[in-house]
């Protein structure tokens, strides 16, 4: 993909990508009747955003738990159903 900076868009130091294509995980907290997204100072400095500056925010629920791919799910389920696997998990849980 050709970047507006003339590069491929894969250069992490590209100012366009640093400023407009940054992603971070954050937490929404309540402040009175409003909600606030906390942004660490280091992140604000990294992308060059100042307090009271307009920013674009795209909010999605972040599911940060690891997930199995569809092709691995049946294999894992079959393995977990084996008695020796259940016994091993019991040993770990009671250790």
Domain residue ranges of the chain, discontinuous segments joined by +: 24-56
Confidence of residue 26 (pLDDT cuts 50, 70, 90): confident
Does 30 score more than 50 pLDDT?
A: yes
Task: Name the CA radius of gyration of the chain, rounded.
Answer: 22
Is it the case that residue 1 has pLDDT exceeding 80? no
Rounded Cα gap, residues 65 and 83, in angstroms? 26
- How far is 24 from 64, CA to CA, in rounded Å? 12
Looking at residue 2, its pLDDT comes to 47
Q: What is the pLDDT of residue 43?
A: 84
What is the pLDDT averaged over residues 15-41? Answer: 77
Q: What is the pTM of this model?
A: 0.42
Q: Which long-range contacts (CB under 8 A, 24 or more apart) does 61-64 make?
A: 62/25, 64/25
């Amino acid at each position: 993909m050709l970047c507006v900076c003339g590069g491929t868009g894969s250069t992490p130091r590209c100012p366009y990508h640093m400023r407009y294509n940054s992603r971070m995980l954050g937490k929404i907290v309540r402040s009175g009747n409003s909600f606030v997204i906390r942004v660490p100072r280091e992140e604000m400095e990294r992308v060059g955003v100042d307090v009271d500056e307009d920013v674009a925010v795209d909010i999605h629920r972040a599911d940060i738990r690891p997930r199995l791919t569809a092709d691995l799910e049946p294999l894992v389920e079959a393995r977990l159903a084996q008695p020796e696997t259940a016994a091993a998990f019991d040993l770990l849980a009671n250790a």
